[in-house]
Structure 1
Amino acid sequence: MNDDPQLAHCTARIGTVLRGKWRIDSLIGVGGMAAVYEATHRIGRRCAIKILHPEIAVSKELRARFEQEALAVNQLGHPAAVNVLDIDTSEDGSPFLVMELLDGDSLGKRARGSGGIEERELLRIVSTVLEVLDVAHGLGIVHRDIKPDNLFLTSSGGVKVLDFGIARMKQGGSNVHTRTGAVLGTTPYMSPEQITGGQIDGRTDVFAVGATMFRILTKRHVHEGSTESELLIKMATQHAPALRTVAPSVSPEVCAIVDRALAFDLSCRYPTARAMREDIERVLGAKATPHAPAPVSFRADASSPISVDGPTMVAPAPGQAMQAPMVVPVPPRSAATSPRASSNPPFLIIAVIGSLAVAVCLAAVFFVVRSRAPAEDARESADDETSQEDKASGSARTMATSSTTSTPSTPSTPSTPSTPSTPSTPSTPSTPSSTAAPPPTRRPASDSKYRLLIKDGKYPFCVTSKLKHAYPVRTNDEGVKVCSGTPDGPIPIDGLKAYHPSQLQWQ
């Protein structure tokens, strides 16, 4: 659908009255699901009204997801969550929400302005956002779409978290089902498990908060891609770059917080929004238990300890003072206070020589292990490619000699994404019925246009040449892993070659 007709339809509502009491005064903005207006109640109260697009309102799933926003916000009851005052349906059948009217700008718009967002101001904003998320997670609500444009900065200095429309709720929203292959969220801020259809919990929102901070501090996304499919693959398979490598001017403490929030491995990420907020409050000066990687403490004098994360320390930018000394000052000791040094110089020499010998041995072991790792990785990669080709050729021979055909694959059940398969346990098609043999499932040759994206032995996607398109791997009703949603229909993955994320394209 073109933008102009949609904008014209939304603009045509200006001046009309909803349900005989809400006069539409102006259009604030138009999104993919709804339009937001400034309106005035007949008693003079100003508000914001969010109206679902008519073409979206015909979907029961999307209507339920829109209406659950009011339910989620009502359960929160937090002052930093935008207040929903009423929910109703317009005369043309479009559901709408009546919300408090906010005065200010989104975090994204403020960051794009000339002044930008200072580091400490960003920490203050994120601390409030994490407080809201902590309450939401305690109620079983996961926002799933935290990003700069959904964080609103009011003119009075407050923060509001917007758009709980795609939030996942443990209770009260169980009637909302996700269509097969549907991706809910904004790709540059989505966690790996959210993209690949894994288990979603509060750590998904923690990742999105980290991606938001990364965006504001670096003026770029965690990963960049020329196409949506390429970006999806990068977000699903690649670790986020260390913040200090992209923005050296950011303080080491903030780098440590963002890096942990963006951890690819769930076990390395902040366990809760509260844990991340406590670290931010610690940096801002409040007393809280640290959850970021254990810092190295230096003491410049007897009364001023300075905490600096060793791995994230970088050289200061021109004109920037070091935030912590790299060398611990040691007061000089006289001969009278150092009898050991004056009376046993051979002992010190022996200790120094012994330490050097141990260091040399450890370095030798390190380089030997490191030199062997690439060779082993190369052998493993070669073995994997050989295994994939053997499987493809073996599957082709089986198809040529077998007198029976496999049961056609069907897409997996919409409500439950399947777990990506591993090369070591390929799925086997089910036995056909003895009364009637169904037509065979389409099986492309191993050099066809589809390949399997391999990451840690798993296949989260089937991708096309040059990463033009990516399709999810699903399990059909017979337990066969298939490439779902392709124009050619469900394709069994056991006949496809592996494709590694390090390859940008294949010929």
Structure 2
Amino acid sequence: MLLELMDAGSLGRLLRHRDGRGGLPEPALAEVAARCLAGLAHLHYSYGVAHLDLKPDNLLANGRGHVRISDFSVSRIFSRNPGERLRVSVGIGSTAYMSPERFAPNARAGPRGACAADVWSLGVTVLELFSGRCPILPAAHGTSWELLKEAICYGEPPSAPESASASPSLRGFVAACLKKDPKRRATVAQLLAHPFVADRDVESSRCALREIIMETMHEQGQRGTPPTS
């Protein structure tokens, strides 16, 4: 088996290394979103797979600016049994990135619902990469299961702070991902056509992402070598 070398480690690791400098600039973030959506489209529409644990720590990058979705340990296959309702409850995956409907006891979902759960996780991930921290709860509040459930199920959907210099396009993209009702949530196909992704300057976005990755690798002294964690 041959696998692509993702020598920059995860985007979660990159974000932690940038602590104090904020998240990714929008051009780089648009490229990350586009690459995630391309991966999710391949999973959802070509293979009938819901990832169910999308987050910055499960997005790997390399010095060429490529981003790949990793860690399929809790993924579910739905294409072989179209009528089957998959278990998508809080018992699997990372709680802070789970959609509201997954907190129901023994939650199950059909193919559309399972894919909608991935879209919610993408929205939270994009917000975290933009702001530099998980947007569900302020760090001072802790991350207990009870607090996360209360914030996700009963609080307002997370969004970029009003004080943040987020473009209307980014805000609209995140809002489309973070509809509490999974039936109203945008699909991956719809998000691929969203202006935040579809109208980006592809070359500029790729260069912006590649520069940040290479800068981080250089600072970590790991250029050309695989990460240790």
Deviations along 1:117-173, whole A, 9 cap, x unmatched? 221101101101101101111132100000000001111111111011111101569
Residue 127 of structure 2 contacts residue 160 of structure 2 at CA under 8 Å; is this kept in 1? yes
Q: 2: distance between equivalents of 1:284 and 1:100? A: 26
Q: List runs of 5+ in structure 1 lacking aligned partners.
A: 1-84, 86-97, 287-507
Q: 1: distance between equivalents of 2:11 and 2:123? A: 14
Equivalent position of 1:160 in the other structure: 68
Equivalent position of 2:207 in the other structure: none
State the AA in 1 paired with 2:53: D
Please identify the structure whose Cα radius of gyration is greater: 1
Displacement of 1:100 after TM fit? Answer: 4.6
Q: 1: distance between equivalents of 2:90 and 2:56? A: 22
Secondary structure at 1:184 match in 2: coil
| 2:138 corresponds to 1:219 | no
Q: 2: distance between equivalents of 1:250 and 1:190? A: 23
Q: 2: distance between equivalents of 1:220 and 1:101? A: 27
Secondary structure at 1:284 match in 2: coil
1:152–1:192 CA distance, 2 compared to 1 (3 A): same
| 2:185 corresponds to 1:269 | yes
Residue 141 of structure 1 contacts residue 169 of structure 1 at CA under 8 Å; is this kept in 2? yes
Equivalent position of 2:92 in the other structure: 184
Q: List runs of 5+ in structure 2 lacking aligned partners.
A: 203-229
Deviations along 1:65-113, whole A, 9 cap, x unmatched? xxxxxxxxxxxxxxxxxxxx2xxxxxxxxxxxx8554311211111222
| 2:7 corresponds to 1:103 | yes
| 2:165 corresponds to 1:235 | no
Q: What are the residue-to-residue correspondences of 1:461-500 with 2, within 5 Å?
A: none
Q: What are the residue-to-residue correspondences of 1:21-60 with 2, within 5 Å?
A: none
1:102–1:221 CA distance, 2 compared to 1 (3 A): closer
State the AA in 1 paired with 2:189: R
Q: 1: distance between equivalents of 2:159 and 2:7? A: 35
Equivalent position of 1:255 in the other structure: 171
State the AA in 2 paired with 1:238: G
Q: 1: distance between equivalents of 2:159 and 2:90? A: 30
Residue 158 of structure 2 contacts residue 178 of structure 2 at CA under 8 Å; is this kept in 1? no
Q: What are the residue-to-residue correspondences of 1:447-466 with 2, within 5 Å?
A: none
1:145–1:173 CA distance, 2 compared to 1 (3 A): farther
Equivalent position of 1:136 in the other structure: 43
**Which structure has more helix as a fraction of its residues?**
2
State the AA in 2 paired with 1:250: A
Displacement of 1:228 after TM fit? Answer: 2.1
Residue 239 of structure 1 contacts residue 263 of structure 1 at CA under 8 Å; is this kept in 2? no
Q: 1: distance between equivalents of 2:94 and 2:193? A: 26
Which of 203, 216, 236 matches 2:116? 203
1:242–1:178 CA distance, 2 compared to 1 (3 A): closer
Secondary structure at 1:260 match in 2: helix
State the AA in 2 paired with 1:128: R
**Which structure has more strand as a fraction of its residues?**
1
Q: 1: distance between equivalents of 2:90 and 2:170? A: 34
Q: 2: distance between equivalents of 1:219 and 1:157? A: 19
Q: 2: distance between equivalents of 1:256 and 1:178? A: 30
The percentage of aligned residue pairs carrying the same residue is 26
Q: 2: distance between equivalents of 1:124 and 1:182? A: 29
Q: 2: distance between equivalents of 1:265 and 1:284? A: 28
Secondary structure at 1:249 match in 2: coil
Deviations along 1:427-446, whole A, 9 cap, x unmatched? xxxxxxxxxxxxxxxxxxxx
Displacement of 1:251 after TM fit? Answer: 1.0
Displacement of 1:268 after TM fit? Answer: 2.8
Q: What are the residue-to-residue correspondences of 1:313-332 with 2, within 5 Å?
A: none
1:202–1:99 CA distance, 2 compared to 1 (3 A): same
1:100–1:173 CA distance, 2 compared to 1 (3 A): farther
Which of 148, 166, 184 matches 2:56? 148
Secondary structure at 2:68 match in 1: strand
Larger RCO (CA within 8 A; separation ≥ 6): 2
Q: Please, what is the CA RMSD of the aligned residues? A: 2.7
